[in-house]
Amino acid sequence: MDKKIEVKYFASPDEVRTFEKGKVELVNIGGAMVGKATFEPGWKWSQHVKPIANTEWCEAPHFQYLISGTMHVVMSDGTETDLKPGSVSLLPSGHDAWVVGEEPVVGVDFQGMVDYAKKI
């Protein structure tokens, strides 16, 4: 079996999905899709992505690393947390989230980007 090195760059993603106050840059690598998400101040999932997803809560599970900014997350069961730069988080489906403050949130998601903000 051939083993090959794969290298991709977010500077030249395979796909970019844009929506109001945000975007996800996607690379397909090793049979997986990895996404770099950028959310501008004022972004909130339930305002800016919910109309695209057409679900009550974000149903994409996320395994992510936050590079910058602060994101507040509320789970459908009422659990809340803030994600800050350097955090690694695992968010199950059933959540809302928004940017806190004036710094954009930038993060890399290793799990939940296959259908995130995908217009059907």
Q: Provide the domain count of the chain.
A: 1
- Give Cα separations from 50 to 25, 29, 95 (angstroms): 19, 27, 11
Residue 119 lies in a domain: no
Local structure of residue 21 (DSSP, 8 states): T
* Residue 115 included in any domain: no
Residue 92 lies in a domain: yes
Residue 110 corresponds to which tokens in the numbers above?
């290793």
pLDDT in tens, the chain (120 residues): 678 999 999 999 999 999 999 999 999 999 999 999 999 999 999 999 999 999 999 999 999 999 999 999 999 999 999 999 999 999 999 999 999 999 999 999 999 888 888 876
Would 73 be classed as within a structural domain?
yes
Q: Domain of residue 71: give its range.
A: 15-109
Q: Is residue 4 part of a domain?
A: no
pLDDT value, residue 87: 98
Please give the Cα distance from 19 to 89 (Å, whole number).
23
**Whether pTM exceeds 0.85:** yes
Residue 116 has what pLDDT?
A: 87
Looking up residue 50, the CATH number of its domain turns out to be 2.60.120.10
In a domain, 103, yes or no: yes
Q: Are 64 and 70 in contact (CB under 8 A)?
A: no
Could you tell me if residue 36 is inside a domain?
A: yes
Residue 43 lies in a domain: yes
93 to each of 1, 16, 76, how far by Cα in Å?
A: 36, 22, 9
CB–CB of 29/97 below 8 Å?
A: no
